[in-house]
Amino acid sequence: MPTLSDPRCRPISLHLGRSSTSSNLDSDPASASLLGDGDAHRLQTVSNRAGVVAAGILLSRIAGLVRESVFAHYLGNSAAADAFKAGFRIPNILQNLFGEGVLSASFIPVYSRLLSKGDQEEADIVAWSVGAILATIVALLVLIGVMAAPWLIDVIAPGFRGETRQLTIRIVQVLFPGAGILVMSAWCLGVLNSHHRFFASYAAPVAWNLTIIAALLWYGPWASQPRLAVHIAWASLIGAILQMLVQLPQTLQMLGRLRLCWARAQTELSMVFKNLLPVIASRGVVQLSGYIDNLLASLLPSGAVAALNYAQILYLLPISLFGMSVAAAELPAMSQATGLSLTEGAAASAEILRRRLDAGLRQISFLVIPSAAAFLFIGDRIVAVLFQSGVFHHRDVIYVWSILAGSAVGMLAATMGRLYNSTYYALSDTRTPLRFAMIRVGLTLILGYLAAIVLPPDLGLARRWGVVGLSGSAGIAAWVEFSLLRRTLNRRLGPTGVGRAYLAQLWGMALASSIVALTAECLLPVNSRISALVVIALYSTSYLGLAFWLRVPEFDRLLRQAFGRLVSTRQA
């Protein structure tokens, strides 16, 4: 193997400094042996990391909800809102195909294993090489995207005509460079996650959200809706730069000096890109599901695209907050655990993966089930609190709530599916999730078309309500994909999943809390934000109170994540 003295491997001598603790990953419990009496402590360590990820995601999602609330105030369900929402999806292809999910599946497992072996120099070379290749590819795709915007619009929103179509094209051309920058921000996230530095990378989108909020507040009172849509597109580009800058200093500190050595990193790079292509295809297939929904919604009356996107903002909140946080914290540890197959044995590795997976699934279920129930039963109050203002009226609240209720059907499956995907990625299996994602997309297309376009007229419903069928059919497809992921992994590792008794307990708690909230709603003033907040607070308090009374272990874990040593585990 060539060394750094080899002429092919001359690193660029730009020393950027390194944290004194970054290379000593062996001191981290997740990097030590994963067997023995310390298993519970190590699982709690990863659980705490999931709490850190969740905290970062929570901040960014809160900022995102504020952004959408201000957006709804000024743009509502207008044609300009449709144009921006549809236009945002097109350059977002880059971020979805090459962003955090893809790098988590291809780059982080390889990079984390090098770090766990103590080979910091080799790890640095791989990280810099992946970053350089990624930057080159993304720059070319950004250029192509800007030039091909008119044709892309015809694919993603064929129902747009006239001024709406022209506005969408302009928005896409502004947003594409920002999407490319966000991909490189995801590269920073991959480096930081592998070093168990989670908060900065997941809180960084706050900068992006705040930039858009500032543009909305500055231009919103006086600009026309089409001009405002263009202004916030430019703000999105500026925000992407800020999001990158938030993570860059810490990333450079983790990596040390800039090193490029294609020959030395050849083996690891081949592993990264061998896994990368199936994951890109898998992510592309998954994103295709969302684009199919967007395409079908563009064929419905004006406002359907914007309403679908408002609902998806809320739908993705618990998936990101609870699913992504657990999956992101577990992936580096799972990737290191797979190395046990070479030492303690494959059986030991499988046992660790099962234990981590099941613990993560229980944690996800504890928080996602009440979220789904809330969207079903008090979703109108949630939508009203966030969006009902300005040109966003009560009829828009009901419209978005109906879509959100449909989305709740598949929320638990979609969230747990993220953790199953991470387990496959830790096992260096990127093709199995791809196959099942393709099945999901096929179902989304068939069921979505029937539910959104064919079924409403047959039932005597207005065409605008077809968008509800889109969200419900996507949920059914998510359950099919999840079932396939679990069944196939169970054949490989042994039984995994959450017990039916535990799921029944959580649904019972959520339904009881819904009854309390709905009873309070009947006694409070209608269409009042204060009453809506009271209803939401009563629902949350009731659910957590029942969890405390029934001594649900995940409630104790949640308290430890939130308050650390200030809250000790309740005595049995």
| Burial class, 248, CB count within 10 angstroms (exposed 0-12 / middle 13-18 / buried 19+) | middle
pLDDT at 212: 94
At residue 176, does pLDDT exceed 50? yes
Question: Residue 358: pLDDT above 50?
Answer: yes
Q: What is the pLDDT, as a whole number, of residue 565? A: 41
d(CA 425, CA 429): 5
Asked if residues 65 and 71 have their Cβ atoms less than 8 Å apart, the reply is no
Do residues 404 and 471 lie in contact, with contact meaning Cβ atoms separated by under 8 Å? yes
The model's pTM is 0.68
Please, which pLDDT band fits residue 331 given cuts at 50, 70 and 90? low
CB 55 within 8 A of CB 320: no
Distance CA 116, CA 559 (A): 30
The answer to whether 243 and 251 are in contact (CB under 8 A) is no
Alpha-carbon distances, residue 45 vs 38, 110, 544 (angstroms): 10, 22, 23
Integer Cα distance of 30 and 8 in angstroms: 35
Phi, psi of 392, rounded to the nearest 5 degrees: -100, 105
3-state SS, residue 90: coil
Helices (H) and strands (E) in the chain, counts: 23, 0
* Per-residue model confidence (pLDDT) at position 268: 74
The ranges assigned to domains in the chain are 38-498, 499-565
Question: What does the buried/exposed string (b/e) look like for 35-51 if buried means 16 or more CB atoms within 10 Å of the residue's CB?
Answer: beeeeeebbbbbbebbb
Question: Average pLDDT for residues 313-335, to the nearest whole number?
Answer: 74
Over residues 100-114, the pLDDT tens digits come to 556 666 777 777 777
Instruction: Round the average pLDDT of the chain to a whole number and report it.
Output: 78
What is the DSSP code (8-state) at residue 530? Answer: H
Output the CA–CA distances (angstroms, integers) from residue 2 to 99, 179, 259, 261, 370, in the order listed.
31, 36, 14, 9, 55
Rg (CA), the chain: 24
Instruction: State whether residue 258 is helix, strand or coil.
Output: coil
| C-beta atoms surrounding 565 within 10 Å | 6
508 vs 464: which has the higher pLDDT:
508
pLDDT at position 483: 94
Q: Which range is least confidently modeled, 14-23, 165-174, 195-204, 370-379?
A: 14-23
User: Could you say which DSSP state residue 28 is in?
Assistant: S
Nearest residue to 304 via CA among 463, 473, 461 = 463
Please give the structure tokens belonging to residue 446: 């068939």
pLDDT surpasses 60 at 22: no
- Nearest CA-CA partner of 397 in 534, 524, 528: 528
| 196: nearest Cα among 26, 391, 78 | 26
How do residues 465-491 score in pLDDT, each as one tens digit?
888 888 888 889 999 999 999 999 999
| pLDDT tens track for 404-444 | 998 898 999 989 988 898 888 778 787 888 889 889 888 88
Question: Is residue 539 within 8 Å of 512, Cβ to Cβ?
Answer: no
Q: Which of 29-33, 236-240, 280-284, 385-389 has the lowest mean pLDDT?
A: 29-33
Neighbouring C-alpha atoms within 13 Å toward the C-beta of 107: 30
pLDDT at position 25 is 34
Average pLDDT over residues 207-219: 93
Phi, psi of 389 (to 5 degrees): -170, 150
Over 178-200, what HEC string results? HHHHHHHHHHHHHHHHHCCCCHH
- How far apart CA 308 and CA 473 sit, in angstroms, is 13
In the DSSP assignment, the letter for residue 324 is I
pLDDT band at 199 (very low <50, low <70, confident <90, very high): confident
Residue 32 pLDDT exceeds 70? no
Q: Give CA separation, 320 vs 57, 367, 433, 489, 553, in Å.
A: 7, 12, 19, 23, 22
> How many other C-beta atoms lie within 10 A of the C-beta of residue 438?
17
Q: Compute the average pLDDT of residues 50-64.
A: 74
What is the C-alpha to C-alpha distance for residues 10 and 14, in angstroms, rounded to an integer? 12
Q: What are the structure tokens assigned to 87, written together?
A: 């236009």
Let me know: does 342 contact 482? Beta carbons within 8 Å: no
Mean pLDDT of 142-159: 83
Could you say which DSSP state residue 322 is in? I
**C-alpha angle 552/556/559, rounded to 5°?**
135
More confidently predicted of 77 and 532: 532
What would the two tokens of residue 18 be?
A: 């390194």
Task: Please write the tens of the pLDDT for every residue from 220-260.
Answer: 998 898 899 999 999 999 999 998 898 888 888 888 667 66
- What is the number of residues in the chain? 572
Tell which residue, 287, 294, 286, has the closest CA to residue 84: 294
Please tell me whether residue 389 adopts helix, strand or coil conformation: strand
Helix axes 79-89, 39-75, angle to 10 degrees: 140
